[in-house]
Every structure is written in C-alpha cells, then in structure tokens.
Chain A
Amino acid sequence: MTSETAAPLAVEALVRGHRLRLVEIAPWLIGGLAYFLFPDYLALGAQILIGIIFSLSLDLILGYAGIVTLGQAAFFGAGAYTAGLLAAHGWGEPLSALVAAGAVAAILGLISGAIILRTRGLTLLMLTLMISFMLQEAANKAGSITGGADGLQGMAVWPVLGVFHFDLYGRTAYLYCLAVLFLAWLAARRIVHSPFGRSLTGIRENEARMHAIGSPVFGRRLVIYTIAAAFAGVAGALLAQTTQFVALEVLSFERSGAGLIMLIIGGVGRLYGPFIGVPLYMIAQDRFAQADPVYWDFWIGLLLILVVVFARGGVLGLADQLRRRLRRTR
C-alpha cells in the first residue's frame, strides 16, 4: 500500500472516530430515563454515575496512556476530603467545592506524577499503591481533622445553585452527578480524539518510537496523569457532597481496585468502557448483596472470572468480536 492511498484512509478513520455518532446519545437517554423509571434507586444511580467518572479517569491513564496504577483512590480521596472539609468548616457551596477538589487532586497528581512517572512497570505500580496507602494512613492519623476511622462528621452542603437541596431520595444527587458526568465525558472525549490523545496512544503502543520522532513522552504522560487526577478528585467530591459524609474508605486500595475491575469489565482503552462496566458491576453487586447478604462476594467473584475468561477486552470487546463474526458470516 502506498502512502497516497493510505493517507486519506487514515484521515478518514481519524475523522470518523471524532464525529459524534447517533449511538453516543444512548447513555444520556438511558441516564435521563432512569431518573423517571427507577425513583427508588437514585441513590445507587448517583453512586454509579460517580463510579463512571472515577473509572473514566482510570481509562484516561491506563487505557489511553498505558500507565498502570493501583492508587487512583489517592486522588479520589483527596477530592472527597477537600469537599468534605470545606463543607464541614462553613463553605458548603457545591460547585466551587467541586472545582477546588479537582484542583487539589490535580496538584497532588502533578507533584506525585513528576516523581513516580520516571519509573516504569512494577516499580510504578508499587509507587502508585504506596502513595494511596500513605495518604490513607495520614488521614487515619490526623483524626482531629478528618475524623479518622469514625469518618468526617458534620458536613453541611448547601443546595446546588442555591435552589436544589440534596434530598433523602437522592433526586438532586442523581441529576447533579449526571450533569457533572456529562461535562466530564465532553472533556474526556475531546482529549482522546485530540492530537494529544493520539500521541498518548502512541506512547502506550510504542514508547521508543515516540521518543524517536521527538514526542515529549514524559511531559505528555505527566499532563494526562494530572488531568486524570483532577477527574478522580471531582468524582470524590461528588461522593462527599451527595452522601454528606467522608470515610477513610475513599482512599482505600479496594476503591482503586474496584475502579480497575469495573473498567476491565467494560473495556479498557475505550471511551465507553466505564459506561458499561460500572453499571454492570454495581447493579450486579447490589442485586447479589440483597439476594444473599452473607455469600454475595462469591457470586461477584464468579461473574468476574466469567468476564475475564470469556470476554477479553471486556463487554465492549465481546460486542466487537460478535459484530466481526456476524460480518464474516454474511
């Protein structure tokens, strides 16, 4: 194939990926409909939306830039405690707190990223894990500020835009999270289809070659790490504001791990992986835990094994395989 025929094809493929397809309205249609169809499940719904933002932040660094991390909860927790402490000390305005939480998490991401992104592979993995452990232990020891293992008490979050109170049924929480997720999705979509996003994929696929063509690899990895940290911080702040509570669990390894698992179920390196994986995992968890409060962990584990064995590339990967097979038989 000569470059004359390849170039337009490549351009077309890039533009096609960028263009908004009809099917991309589906998540928002479902998200909006769910508000009316499941009024009793809005609290869970809000947590799913928060989970999607968190998982999206992981997708940006793991799926697109190939940075393997087990410590994304560090940024989630930093955001949650920022919003929580602001609300507990007299500043309960949610939107500005959201921005502040994103900023704090981004600064943390920038500083920690500048140090740990110089490493690769298992070393990097361990360092991300250690940063979240360190933060969790710091939050545990600073009990007079964070409430320690008892959780942060006395948050008072003001109504969104001064109008919408956070209610017991989670209506405001759900719509608030849906709106923030929409903005996060717009930003993520813009990033992954931009030349910057493309270069991240390049770094993931072949770092040596990116170095060879003069791409600033370290700088780009640091930028996406910082952006993803901000996303995670915003997700954490949403959790703090909608539940009006912050516990040490926001910084836990379990949260990093669960975010990763949900992303894998949906499909890593795909913009819509989190949109599939998070609802699937959290709804399954909710159903199993209610049907069998003692042994529900077992059923979740079984589900995960099935996904990993039979759906490599997650649910979206499986869908692609099926589509390809259908096309072949046609």
Chain B
Amino acid sequence: MTYRIQAALLGAALLGAMSAHPAAAETIKIGVILTYSGPMASLGDQIDKGLSLYVKEHEKDLPPGTTVEIVRRDDTGPNPETAKRLAQELITRDHVNFLTGVVWSPNALAIAPLTAEAKVPFIVSNAAAVTVPRLSPYVARVSFTLWEECLPLGQWAASKGGLKKVFIAVSDFAPGHEAAQAFTKGFKDAGGQIVDSVAFPLKDPDFVPFMQRVKDAKPDAVFVFVPSGKQATAVMKAYNDLGMKADGIKIIGPQDIVPDEELPSMGQEPLGVITAGTYSNAAQRPANKAYVAAWTREYGTKTMPGFMSVGGWDSMAAIFSAINATKGHVDGDKVMAVLEGWKNPQSPRGEIMIDPDTRDIVQHIYIRRVEKLGDRLANIEFVTLPMTKDPWKELNPPK
C-alpha cells in the first residue's frame, strides 16, 4: 500500500517536473557538452571560452530577473555513448532548457534523437555532419558543414587555383567522408582529377605513413581534413618532416587544418596554405575586431580565438535571442519557431542565418590564404562566397 502511494507520489512529481514551464524571472539552465579533458581538450576549451564570453558580455541584455545557469559536462572526446548519457542526464536530472556545445559529429548524431523525445532545443556549436539537423526538429546548427566549405573549395581549386591532380587524405568519420565527397564533386565537376585517397584513424593517428603515401603519389596538392586542434598541428608537422613542400606538393582543405589558435605552434610551414572557412580572427569586420578585443580583455593573448570559439559565441547568441523573444518562456516549440530563420548580422564571421527549412546555418564562406601579418601568421580572406547554404541538403532533399 505504502509502496503504491510512494510510486504515485513519485509519478506525480515526475509529471510535474516534466510539465513545469519556466516562467520569467527564473533561472534558465543551459546544458553544455564539450570535450574538457583528454588529448582533444583544446577544442572544448575554444568553444567554452566563446560561449562564456558571450554570456559575460550580454547577460545584462536578458529580460529583467532572468538569469542563465551553465551546466558543463565533459564527453572526453569522440565518445558518442558518453555524450548520449550526459545529454540524457542533463535532460532528466538537471532539467535543462537548452542543450549546446558538442565538438564531435558522432556525439551530436547520438544526442540529436533524444531531443526529439524531450523537446529540448539543441544548438550545435561545432559538430558538422550534414545529417545532424535532420535527426530531430529540435536541432539547429550555428557552425558549418564540410559540404558548405569543400564544394566551393574544390571548384575554386580546379578553376582558379591551378591544381590538376589532388590526393585526398581525411579522418575516418562522417565529417571526413563528407569533406572528401564534397571536394571531389566540386573539383571533378570543374575538371580536376583525384589521384587517390587515404583515411586517418580518428583517435591517436600517426600521420607520417599516410603522408608518405601522398608524397609517393606526387600530386599537385593534398586535400586534408582532420578535426582541427592538435591533430592539425601534427599533420602540418608530418608534411614538414617529409619535406613535401620542397617536392611542390601543396596542402589545401577546410579551415580545420590551419585553425587560428594553432597557427602560432605550426612554425612557418603553413605559409601559403589555402583553405575554405567561415572565420578568421584576422578579419577586418568591426564585429570581429570587437570580438577579438573582448577576447583578449578576458583571456589575454596567450590563446587566440579560432572558428570553434565563434561557434560557441553564436550558440549563445542564438539562445539569448530565443530567451529574449520568448520573454523567458523557453518552451521547446516556441524556441524553435524563433530560431528557424534567426539572423545575426553581428557575428564575428559576418552575417549568419539559420535556414528555416533545414535548421542549418547559412553564412559567408571565405577562401583564405595563410600569410604573414606583422610577426605572426594569419588566415587572410581573399574570396567571399556570400550567404552559402549547405549544398548537400539541396542535392539530397528529405524523402
């Protein structure tokens, strides 16, 4: 009998917890899942710094009485199972109103279906696999897709970049395959030829044997995608150690291979590397100058902001817009209604928008070259492809 009463009480409490809508003048909880430990922790650090900075700078703009509480969780790297459990706990235990962060596509692919059941908006700060927003109507992405960057890069490389034969070397997981497919399509359609391809293991790769194969094939250039951070530096080191530059083999790829924050540890090797990307901290836009200034005020000049930090910053910008537009009544459906078609003309990377149909990001894609800027290296944008949508979603409409 007492057991029944207890069970009934618990059931009622659970129902109450599930249906309780946070009213205005309340604390809005934002669950952040990032890689805070392990060999890839620098990526989580970038995004965390970006989103924390946004909260610090814009907390005063929230509706009166509303505050945000950030609940941080460490997924330790590309571990989809851990990430899924953390998301589940953030939803059921901490009752978060938003989920954000997530460096890794496998992790985002595991988390996304949960948000459909829980009706918790999930703002993806980085994970780039093309299918992520299709897995749940409560997912919106503010980062990029590899198709968005690599298809135009392929076209540019064959038509204007003067490259004829390219070797493809990418990390062996969804974004890597997507980068390879997109570049191949763009490059071949514009008359280029793909010589061969290799795939690096995602975790703890040794790049030298793979790059040796590239070197032996003597292509004009190697198209590389690795998941940014320290792996980017390691690829550049392998490229350097094997003397591939002297052999006339160029290196091209998406921005992940020359992230702004890693450039200082790459030496002079990346000079002249051409990439397609969404953000460079050397860009002269006023919004970016303000961002970099706020960053150095807060964190000093030891680590510089890279594109991942901007993903964190814009995630919070989207969440804050949703909180303000709903006056703190952050019901899942209302939030998604705000985010579909949401625009931020003041992003450090230029104007961005969330496509109302796909909930994926629309933004300028820049072709950039690594050049000397004063005493440091920087990604200098020289071609702008305005307001680019994810081409994969246009080539593969939902069934």
User: Chain A residues in contact with chain B, CB under 8 A?
Assistant: 36, 39-41, 43-44, 47, 140, 143, 148-151, 153, 168-170, 239, 243-247, 249-250, 289-290, 293-297
Among B148-207, those with CB < 8 Å from A are: 172-174, 201-203
Contact A245 B81 (CB under 8 A): yes
- Partner of B106 from the list A151, A169, A170, A244 (CB cut-off 8 Å) is A151
A320 to chain B, nearest CB (A): 34
Interface centre among B7, B79, B82, B118 (most CB of A within 10 A): B79
Give the residues in chain B near A47, CB-CB below 8 Å: 85
- Partner of B92 from the list A40, A140, A243, A245 (CB cut-off 8 Å) is A40
Known contacts A140-B201, A151-B81, A245-B84: A168-B91 contact under CB 8 Å? yes
Residue of A nearest to B135 (CB): A153
23 A-B residue pairs with Cβ-Cβ distance under 8 Å, sorted by A, are A39-B13, A43-B88, A44-B85, A140-B201, A143-B172, A149-B202, A150-B106, A150-B109, A150-B173, A151-B80, A151-B81, A168-B88, A168-B91, A170-B88, A170-B92, A243-B85, A245-B110, A247-B80, A249-B80, A249-B81, A290-B73, A293-B72, A293-B73
Give the residues in chain A near B78, CB-CB below 8 Å: 149
The 9 closest A-B pairs by CB, nearest first: A149-B173, A293-B74, A40-B93, A151-B80, A149-B202, A247-B80, A293-B36, A247-B81, A150-B106
Contact A150 B37 (CB under 8 A): no
Give the residues in chain B near A250, CB-CB below 8 Å: 81
User: Chain B residues in contact with chain A, CB under 8 A?
Assistant: 6-7, 10, 13-14, 36-37, 41, 72-74, 78-82, 84-85, 88-89, 91-93, 105-106, 109-110, 113-114, 117-118, 129, 172-174, 201-203
Our count of residue pairs bridging A and B at CB distance below 8 angstroms stands at: 87
Give the residues in chain A near B117, CB-CB below 8 Å: 168
Give the residues in chain B near A289, CB-CB below 8 Å: 73-74
A298 to chain B, nearest CB (A): 9
Q: How far is the CA of A47 from the CA of B36 in the complex (A)?
A: 22
Contact A293 B37 (CB under 8 A): yes
Give the residues in chain A near B129, CB-CB below 8 Å: 150
- Partner of A150 from the list B72, B81, B105, B203 (CB cut-off 8 Å) is B105
Give the residues in chain B near A40, CB-CB below 8 Å: 92-93
Q: How far is the CA of A293 from the CA of B79 in the complex (A)?
A: 15
Q: How far is the CA of A246 from the CA of B106 in the complex (A)?
A: 11
Residue of A nearest to B92 (CB): A169
Q: How far is the CA of A251 from the CA of B73 in the complex (A)?
A: 24
- Partner of B174 from the list A41, A44, A150, A243 (CB cut-off 8 Å) is A150
Give the residues in chain A near B91, CB-CB below 8 Å: 168
B43 to chain A, nearest CB (A): 13
Give the residues in chain A near B74, CB-CB below 8 Å: 289, 293-294, 296
Known contacts A170-B88, A293-B74, A294-B37: A151-B202 contact under CB 8 Å? no
Q: How far is the CA of A247 from the CA of B83 in the complex (A)?
A: 11
Residue of A nearest to B41 (CB): A294
A251 to chain B, nearest CB (A): 12
Contact B84 A243 (CB under 8 A): yes
Give the residues in chain A near B114, CB-CB below 8 Å: 168
Give the residues in chain B near A169, CB-CB below 8 Å: 14, 92
Interface centre among A151, A244, A295 (most CB of B within 10 A): A151
Q: How far is the CA of A150 from the CA of B172 in the complex (A)?
A: 9
9 further A-B contacts with Cβ under 8 Å, apart from A140-B201, A168-B118, A170-B88, are A47-B85, A150-B106, A150-B129, A168-B92, A243-B81, A249-B80, A289-B73, A293-B37, A297-B37
Give the residues in chain A near B10, CB-CB below 8 Å: 36, 39
Residue of B nearest to A43 (CB): B88
- Partner of A149 from the list B37, B85, B89, B172 (CB cut-off 8 Å) is B172
- Partner of B14 from the list A39, A41, A140, A244 (CB cut-off 8 Å) is A39
Q: How far is the CA of A243 from the CA of B113 in the complex (A)?
A: 11
Residue of B nearest to A286 (CB): B89
Q: How far is the CA of A40 from the CA of B18 in the complex (A)?
A: 12
Residue of B nearest to A289 (CB): B74
Q: How far is the CA of A44 from the CA of B92 in the complex (A)?
A: 11
Give the residues in chain A near B201, CB-CB below 8 Å: 140
A80 to chain B, nearest CB (A): 10
Residue of B nearest to A80 (CB): B81
Contact B37 A295 (CB under 8 A): yes
Q: How far is the CA of A40 from the CA of B304 in the complex (A)?
A: 39
Give the residues in chain B near A41, CB-CB below 8 Å: 93
Q: How far is the CA of A247 from the CA of B85 in the complex (A)?
A: 12
Residue of B nearest to A154 (CB): B113
Give the residues in chain A near B203, CB-CB below 8 Å: 149
Contact B80 A150 (CB under 8 A): yes
Q: How far is the CA of A297 from the CA of B74 in the complex (A)?
A: 11
Give the residues in chain A near B118, CB-CB below 8 Å: 168
Interface centre among A43, A44, A246, A250 (most CB of B within 10 A): A43
Q: How far is the CA of A294 from the CA of B32 in the complex (A)?
A: 13
Contact A296 B37 (CB under 8 A): yes
B86 to chain A, nearest CB (A): 9
Q: How far is the CA of A249 from the CA of B92 in the complex (A)?
A: 24
Q: How far is the CA of A290 from the CA of B109 in the complex (A)?
A: 23
